[in-house]
Amino acid sequence: MATPYVSPAQDRQRRAVRPHLPMRPRWLCRVCAAPWPCQPARLLLLMEYRRDRVALSVYLAGCLFDATADLLTLNPRPEPSPGELFDRFLAWAAA
């Protein structure tokens, strides 16, 4: 069976619509398996909240709260550390 032709533009569009969302409780990206928010998720979040950085920070603070609870349930020893979690979820959005 022949594979249908997909132009480069269609391929980019198909890849662009795949949201990089967290897979709980491990907080890894569902698409690329990187720690969430991965780089593509960060870019998408910055675009989505481009007019309201405070709302982005509030959303990410809620994610940080949930991730901390989930990750501590999986591993009682703090791994990653609270500082690493802060950097991962909030520090990048303030820049």
Answer yes or no: pTM beyond 0.85: no
Q: Count the neighbouring beta carbons within 10 Å of the beta carbon of residue 36.
A: 23
pLDDT value of position 78: 73
- Residue 24 in 3-state DSSP? coil
pLDDT value of position 5: 75
User: What residue spans define the domains of the chain?
Assistant: 21-94
User: d(Cα 35, Cα 26) in Å, to the nearest integer?
Assistant: 8
10-residue averages of pLDDT along the chain (95 residues): 66 68 96 96 96 97 96 85 94 87
pLDDT value of position 94: 85
